Amino acid sequence: MCRSTHATYPQNRLPPPPREPTKQRRHSPKGKASGWIEERLGNLKRQNPSTSYYYCWQQGTNRGKQYIPVRKLAAVQQMIDQRCSMGDILAVLAKDSNTPIGSQGNR
């Protein structure tokens, strides 16, 4: 009895299923990045802890943060999705705000 050393495959093999396109990461050119929003939970011992939102950006090796009032959160998120510049977003946050820009600093 002689056995073949190779496996037999059917002649009418189906092609592999098409791959879904992988999501390409968007890289922004220098000076055109929008930043991101960070969420912080405060006073965790409460039954309902408070949530604060901060707009964060990076310039070179430095990072900055600015508090986002809840009433402006949707507008800032929309500006980030539209890839608006950091200066435009900070201008929206500074409008009718009592805190100067960058007062939060790097913590």
Query: Which tens digits make up the pLDDT trace of 31-48?
Result: 566 789 999 998 888 888
- The tokens for 9 are 């495959």
Residue 62 pairs with which residues in a beta bridge? Answer: 59
Return the pLDDT at 76.
94
Question: What is the distance between the alpha carbons of residues 71 and 23, in angstroms, rounded to a whole number?
Answer: 31
* CB-based contact 94:67 (threshold 8 Å): no
Q: What is the pLDDT of residue 70?
A: 93
Please give the model's pTM, rounded to 2 decimal places.
0.60
Residue 35: which residues within 8 A CB-CB, separation 6 or more? 55, 56, 57, 58, 80, 86, 89
pLDDT score of 44: 83
Whether residue 99 has pLDDT greater than 70: no
Where does the pLDDT of residue 52 fall: very low under 50, low under 70, confident under 90, or very high at 90 and above?
A: very high
DSSP run (H or E) holding 39: strand 36-42
Once rounded to an integer, what is the mean pLDDT over residues 40-66? Answer: 89
- Predicted confidence at residue 69, as pLDDT, reads 94
Residue 29 confidence (pLDDT) above 70 = no
Which among 28, 34, 39 is positioned nearest to 81, based on CA atoms?
Answer: 34
Query: Which carries the bigger pLDDT value, residue 45 or residue 11?
Result: 45
